[in-house]
Amino acid sequence: MDFSYSEEQQMLQDSIAKFVQNDYDFDTRMKLVKSETGYSEENWKLFAELGWLMVPFSEADGGLGGSATDLMVVMEEFGKGIVIEPFLATAVMGGGLVAAAGSDEQKAELIGGIMEGGLQMAFAYAEPQSRYNLADVATTARKDGDNYVLSGHKAVVLNGGAADVIVVSARTSGDQSDEEGISLFLVDAKSDGVRIKSYRTQDGGRAAEVHLENVSVPAAKLLGEEGKALPVMNQVINRAILSICAEAVGAMEMSYKKTVEYSKTRVQFGVPIAKFQALQHRMADMFIEHQQAKSIVLMAAMKLDQGGAEADKAVSAMKSRIGKAGRKIGQESVQIHGGIGVTEELDIGHYFKRLTMIELLFGTGDFHTQRFAAL
């Protein structure tokens, strides 16, 4: 049994930790949140230069190996700074789909672009009515000669506004919620008939509504086998869930540690509030929640790397636990900070917001608890 990081993982962790500490302080982040693009292109170039964008990809695809544990290392550090650069949407989801299902040509065309930092991607899977059911796809793709014609509405597409290429799930056959008959398409965001309404998200990122109206896509842009996309989608969403859960662990660590520090300096009734046992026990609970969260993410990362049938169950166990832990630590951090905790001025509220949104992405705690029980 060995839970220690490899030398490479240790170096990766150190380099991201250094970046977050030196170049990603709270004020810098907030400026980016409110900037036009919503993230720093300069940072993105830096991520490429330092090789971080190669982490999600296998050596065969030109990457650094692409293990789930590597991904976990990266995302946990990003979580400490609540980094908003679109690593999840572009490298984990967009790139992940291409790596999992793409032809050699498609991989050659796109993965290199992602790793070099020149290509932004998004994955448009959710729809207004679909909630957390990946198979509920009303968007249609109709074969028309050498093209497919796509029509539909994709909801809350992370990084949808900045993406050059959007992977769209669409139905090529079957009924709206059939598991068979879903296909993936690489849609150029500038195609005729694509209308994108981009907006900020509650946690400082960006997402978009993507409307497709008779968008003509060459058959060469079909990603993977026609009608067989669901298992690929599930596999990539699993890695996306691992990524945000690892990010949550980083955010939780900062949140509880900052709360403990604050309680030592905030004096009320003549003593630091850290002296009150009622608060001490709650902070001890937060520490326990963080440790439990870290453990379950590690478990899920290892199960994902092993592959096989247990992966889904492990991912749901993780997402369920992370939802509860994130809610508890987020709420308690704000409460113990008092008034300053509910303002925009302090970072603690922004960790809380990110943890809250993480719970809502890719299925709530209830959803994953029920999925865990059913598997």
Partner 1 sequence: MNVDFSAEELAFQEEVRQFLKEKLPANIAEKAKKNLHFEKEDFVTWQKILAEKGWAAVNWPVEYGGTGWTSTQKYIWSNECAKVGAPGVIPFGMSMVAPVIYGFGNEEQKKRFLPDILNSNVWWCQGYSEPNAGSDLASLKTTATRDGDEYVVNGTKTWTTLGQYADWIFCLVRTGGSEAKNQEAISFLLIDMKTPGITVSPIYMLDERREVNEVHFDNVRVPVENRIGEEGKGWTYAKVLLTHERTGIARVAQSKVALQGVKKTASETNDFGRPLMENPAFAQKVAELEIDLLALEYTELRTLAAVSTGKAPGPESSILKIKGTEIAQGIDELKMEVAGYYAVPFLDEQFDIDFDGEWVGPGSAANTAPTYFNNRKTSIYGGSNEVQKNIICKAVLGL
What is the binding site for partner 1 (CB under 8 A)? 126, 128-133, 136, 155-156, 177, 197, 199-203, 207, 209, 267-270, 278-279, 327, 331, 334-335, 338-339, 341-345, 349, 352-353, 356-357, 360-361, 364, 366, 369-370
Q: Judged by CB, which is closer to partner 1: 9, or 333?
A: 333
User: Shortest gap between Cβ of 367 and partner 1 (angstroms)?
Assistant: 9
User: Shortest gap between Cβ of 162 and partner 1 (angstroms)?
Assistant: 16
Q: Using an 8 Å Cβ cutoff, are 214 and 193 in contact?
A: yes
User: Shortest gap between Cβ of 338 and partner 1 (angstroms)?
Assistant: 5
User: Shortest gap between Cβ of 38 and partner 1 (angstroms)?
Assistant: 11
Q: Using an 8 Å Cβ cutoff, are 340 and 186 in contact?
A: no
**How far is Cα 313 from Cα 299, in angstroms, rounded to an integer?**
11
Q: Judged by CB, which is closer to partner 1: 63, or 161?
A: 161
* CA dihedral sign of residues 159, 161, 166, 167: positive
At residue 279, what is the residue type? Answer: L
Kindly report the number of other CB atoms within 10 A of residue 284's CB atom: 12
User: Shortest gap between Cβ of 363 and partner 1 (angstroms)?
Assistant: 9
Q: Judged by CB, which is closer to partner 1: 81, or 323?
A: 323
Cβ-proximal residues to 3 (8 Å cutoff; 6+ apart), any chain: 298
Q: Judged by CB, which is closer to partner 1: 3, or 269?
A: 269
Q: Judged by CB, which is closer to partner 1: 54, or 334?
A: 334
User: Shortest gap between Cβ of 312 and partner 1 (angstroms)?
Assistant: 16
User: Shortest gap between Cβ of 202 and partner 1 (angstroms)?
Assistant: 5
**How far is Cα 5 from Cα 28, in angstroms, rounded to an integer?**
30
Cβ-proximal residues to 22 (8 Å cutoff; 6+ apart), any chain: none
DSSP 159: T
User: Shortest gap between Cβ of 17 and partner 1 (angstroms)?
Assistant: 27
User: Shortest gap between Cβ of 113 and partner 1 (angstroms)?
Assistant: 27
Q: Judged by CB, which is closer to partner 1: 72, or 361?
A: 361
**How far is Cα 83 from Cα 21, in angstroms, rounded to an integer?**
11
At residue 162, what is the residue type? Answer: A
In degrees and rounded to multiples of 5, residue 195 shows phi and psi of -120, 125
**How far is Cα 306 from Cα 67, in angstroms, rounded to an integer?**
10
**How far is Cα 125 from Cα 136, in angstroms, rounded to an integer?**
9
Q: Judged by CB, which is closer to partner 1: 75, or 279?
A: 279
Q: Judged by CB, which is closer to partner 1: 98, or 196?
A: 196
Cβ-proximal residues to 192 (8 Å cutoff; 6+ apart), any chain: 215, 216
Q: Judged by CB, which is closer to partner 1: 17, or 30?
A: 30
Q: Is 309 exposed, middle or buried (CB count within 10 Å of its CB: 0-12, 13-18, 19+)?
A: exposed
User: Shortest gap between Cβ of 123 and partner 1 (angstroms)?
Assistant: 13
Q: Using an 8 Å Cβ cutoff, are 286 and 355 in contact?
A: no
**How far is Cα 283 from Cα 289, in angstroms, rounded to an integer?**
10
Residue 47 in 3-state DSSP? Answer: helix
Cβ-proximal residues to 277 (8 Å cutoff; 6+ apart), any chain: none
At residue 40, what is the residue type? Answer: S
Q: Judged by CB, which is closer to partner 1: 299, or 342?
A: 342
